[in-house]
Amino acid sequence: MTLELSHLSRRFTDYPALDDVSLVIAPGEFLALLGPSGSGKTTLLRILAGLDYPDAGTVQLDGNDFLAAQAHKRKVGLVFQHYALFRHLTVAENVAFGLRVRSRKARPSRTEIAERVQQLLKRVQLDDHGHRYPSQLSGGQRQRVALARALAVEPDLLLHEDLELTTVFVTHDQEEALELADRIAVMNRGRIEQVGSPEAIYQQPATPFVCEFIGKVNKIPLTYANHRLSAGDWVLEGDPWNGRHANVVAYVRPEHLSLVGAHTESGWAARLRHVYLAGSVAHLELYIPSIDQTLEADVAGEDVAALGLQNGAELRVAPRGAIVFALGEQAGDAPAGRWVWQA
Amino acid sequence: MSGPRRQPHWSRRIGHLLLMLAATAFLTIFLALPLAVVFVEAFRRGLHAYLSAIGQHEALMAIRLTLLVAAISVPLNVVFGVAAAWAIARFEFRGKALLGAFIDLPFSVSPVISGLVYVLLFGAQGWFGHWLELHDVKIIFAVPGLVLATIFITLPFVARELIPLMQSQGSDEEEAARVLGAGGWQMFFRVTLPNIRWALLYGVLLCNARAMGEFGAVSVVSGHIRGLTTTMPLEVEMLYNEYDYVGAFAVATLLALLALATLAIKALLEWRYGDEIAAHAPGGH
C-alpha cells in the first residue's frame, strides 16, 4: 500500500501548521518525521488519522482518496504522544476497545477478542497486567498498552507519536529515529526541509536548519576576500559564488574537526577550555582567538591521552570537511547556495 | 533549632478560644438552631399530628408536583448541560463566551425576575398570551410554567460542573476512540460519559436540590392554586400564612431532609471523587 501526500497545507488562525507538504511513503516503509515542536509533525499525523483536515492538498492510499474516509473508517493505528489510554477501562479492555466497537457483523466473538487481547499483551510483555488500570502502570508500560491497542485493529497505517517500529512515525528522539527509520523527513515551520536516509540527512544536510537540528554542529561565519572564503586562519581556497553572497556560513560537525600539527598552513591556534572523556571519544571545548568563538570537537580518546592534553593547553585544529551555505536575505529564507567542502 | 519549646502566650490562646467560640455560636444560631426548630415545631403536637399534616391532600399534591417538576426539569438540564459543556469544552466557535455568560445568567438574576420574565412572555397580558389563549395552552399558573421557571433557575448546575472537568481532561481519549473505529455515540457512551459520570452525578444532585427547593421563580408563575400549582416550598409558605404551624413545619421537614441527604451525598462524592469534581457552592438566592 502506497501512501501519497501531495501539497498538503493547513493554516491555523495565526500561522501555517503545514505549508505545501508532499511525501510518498512506500509499502512497508518506516518513515520518521523529525522536527522541533510546532514544526507540523503532529498536524500531519492528525490529518492522516482523520482528526484534522487540510485546507488544501490530497492524501491517497493506493490511488484512493484517503481523506474522504472519516477517522473511524480509516484503519489507522495511532499511538498518541501521551498515550490517551481510557482511564476508566482496564488494560485488557483498552486493548479490546477497537474490536468491541465494531458492528456486529465485523465483530469477533467474545472469546476471540479475549484471545487476541491476550496475544497482544503477551507481545508487549504485559500479559499479567490485563486487569490493571492505566493509572497503575509506569510510563513505559502505558506506551506498550497504547501500542497493543493500536495494533489490535490490524491497521493499514501505524502512526506513532513517539518511538517504536512501523510506518509513519513522529518523534523528538533523534537517536531513535536515526537508528530505526528507513527514511527521515525533517520538518520546520510546516515545511519538509529534507527527506532522505538517516545517513544522507546527517552527512549531507540540505539546509542550515537540518544541520543545526540533527546532531551537534559548529556554526562559523565566513568572510570573502582575495577570491576566497575564510574564517580567521582557516582558508577554504575558493568561493563557488565568487563573492556574490555576503552572508556565508560554514557548518562543521565536531567529529570533522581534528587536531593538526604546527606545520599545517590552514587551521586555527586554539586553547583547550575543557575536555570531557566519554568512552572512546573525547569531547573538547576549544576557544579560537582568531575568530573569537568556542568550538566543539570530538576526537579519539587515545589521542588525547597520548598528547596528555589538559585544560588550558595550546593546540592547533582544522576542519576536515564542512557544509557551506550562502544564506538568503532574511532569516528563514531558503539558502541561496550550498557547497560541500572537503579539506 | 534549639532552646526550650515556647508555650504560646496565654493571650494568644484565649484569642483562639474566643474565635472558636464565636464560630460555634454563629453556626449554632444561624444553622443548627433553625434546623432544629423545623423539627421541633413539626412534632410539637406529636407524631400523629405530624403524619396527618403530611397526609393532607394538598400536602401530598404538593409533594407530587415537586417530584414531577424535578423529574421533568432535571433530565432536560442534564441533556442541555452535557451538550453545552461539550460544545464549550471541545469546540471553538463564535459566541462561545456569550454562551458561557448565558449559562451563568440564572445565577446572577434574581429568581423573582426569572419568574416574572415568563409571566411577561406567556401570561394573559404577555407577548404570547393571546396566541396561547386562542390555542387553549396554559403555561402561567399551571404546571408548564413551574417547569419552565425551574429549568431556567437550575440551568447552570450541570453545565458549570462539567465544563472545567471536560476542559482539563481534554479530547485525547475521545480522539483515540474515534481512530479505533468508534462512531459518535459509541465514543460518547463508552468514553465521554464514563469519564464525567461522577461530576455529572454531582451536578444532578445540586440541580435536583435546587429544583425541589426553588421558591422565588415558581412563586411568581404558580398562582398558588392549592392542590394544583403549589410545590412544597410554596405549600410551606401558604400553610404558615394560615397559622398552620405544624402543617408548615411538617412539610418543611421533608425539604430539610432533602437538604441533609443532598449534603451527605455531596460530601461523599467530594470525598471519594474529589479530583473529578469541581466543588462549588450552589449559586442563586
Per-residue pLDDT of A292-307, as tens digits, reads 999 999 998 888 777 7
Q: Cβ(B278)–Cβ(B196) under 8 Å? A: no
Which of B173, B181, B194 lies closest to A101 in CB terms? B181
For chain A, the first-to-last Cα distance in angstroms comes to 45
Q: Do B191 and A85 touch (CB under 8 A)?
A: no
pLDDT digits (tens, 9 = 90+) for B214-240: 999 999 998 888 888 899 999 999 999
Residue A272 has pLDDT above 50, yes or no: yes
Residue B250 has pLDDT above 70, yes or no: yes
Give the type of residue at A175: E
Coil, helix or strand for A42? helix
Q: How far apart are CA B229 and CA A49, in angstroms?
A: 55
pLDDT digits (tens, 9 = 90+) for B138-190: 888 889 999 999 999 999 999 999 999 999 999 999 999 999 999 999 999 99
CB within 8 A of B258, min separation 6: which ones? B209, B212, B213
Q: Cβ(A300)–Cβ(A280) under 8 Å? A: yes
Q: How far apart are CA A213 and CA A216, in angstroms?
A: 8
Q: Are strands A234-235 and A16-25 parallel, antiparallel or unpaired?
A: unpaired
Residue A170 has pLDDT above 60, yes or no: no
Q: Do B181 and A98 touch (CB under 8 A)?
A: yes
Q: Do A86 and B175 touch (CB under 8 A)?
A: no
Residue B285 has pLDDT above 80, yes or no: no
Q: Are strands A321-326 and A337-342 parallel, antiparallel or unpaired?
A: antiparallel
Q: Give the pLDDT of residue B25.
A: 94
Average pLDDT, stretch B91-119?
Answer: 90
Residue B128 has pLDDT above 50, yes or no: yes
Q: Cβ(A250)–Cβ(A231) under 8 Å? A: yes
Whole-model pTM: value is 0.75
Which of A87, A97, A102 lies closest to B177 in CB terms? A97
Model ipTM value: 0.72
Strand order of the sheet with strand A31-34?
A: A76-79, A157-160, A168-171, A31-34, A183-188, A191-196
Q: Cβ(A81)–Cβ(A173) under 8 Å? A: no
Which of A73, A88, A102 lies closest to B195 in CB terms? A88
More confident: A279 or B208: B208
Q: Do B181 and A76 touch (CB under 8 A)?
A: no
Q: Do B179 and A102 touch (CB under 8 A)?
A: no
Q: Do A72 and B172 touch (CB under 8 A)?
A: no
Q: All 3 cell numbers of residue A108? A: 469477533
Q: How far apart are CA A309 and CA B258, in angstroms?
A: 83
Q: Give the pLDDT of residue B283.
A: 41
Q: Give the pLDDT of residue A162.
A: 63
Task: Tell whether B194 is within 8 A of chain A (Cβ).
Answer: yes
Q: Cβ(B162)–Cβ(B81) under 8 Å? A: yes
Angle at B84 between CA B81 and CA B89, to 5 degrees: 115
Is residue A188 left, alpha or beta, with left meaning phi > 0 and alpha meaning psi from -120 to 50? beta
Q: Which of A36-45, A141-150, A173-182 has the highest mean pLDDT?
A: A141-150
Residue B78 has pLDDT above 60, yes or no: yes
pLDDT digits (tens, 9 = 90+) for A112-147: 999 999 999 998 889 899 999 999 999 889 988 998
- Of B255, B249, B213, nearest to B39 by C-alpha is B249
**Residue B168 to chain A, least CA–CA distance (Å):** 13
Model confidence at A313, pLDDT cuts 50, 70, 90, reads confident
Task: Tell whether B188 is within 8 A of chain A (Cβ).
Answer: no
Q: Give the pLDDT of residue A218.
A: 94
Q: Do A82 and B175 touch (CB under 8 A)?
A: no
Residue A100 has pLDDT above 90, yes or no: yes
CB-defined contacts A:B, below 8 A: 61
Q: All 3 cell numbers of residue A215? A: 546532531
| Interior/surface letters A74-90, b for 16+ CB within 10 angstroms, e for the rest | bebbbbbbebbbbebbb
Q: Give the pLDDT of residue A156.
A: 80
Supply the mean pLDDT for chain B.
88
Q: Do B179 and A76 touch (CB under 8 A)?
A: yes
Task: State which residue of chain B sits closest to A153, comparing Cα positions.
Answer: B180
Q: Cβ(A52)–Cβ(B175) under 8 Å? A: no
Task: Tell whether B172 is within 8 A of chain A (Cβ).
Answer: yes
Which of A50, A86, A87 lies closest to B179 in CB terms? A50
Q: Give the pLDDT of residue A174.
A: 54
* Dihedral sign, Cα of residue A77, residue A80, residue A83, residue A87: negative
Q: Which residues of A touch B175 (CB under 8 A)?
A: 49, 51, 71, 80, 84
Q: Give the pLDDT of residue A163.
A: 43
Q: Which residues of B touch A73 (CB under 8 A)?
A: 181
- Of A264, A222, A261, nearest to A243 by C-alpha is A222
CB within 8 A of A1, min separation 6: which ones? A27, A61, A62, A156, A157
Q: Which residues of B touch A80 (CB under 8 A)?
A: 172, 175-176
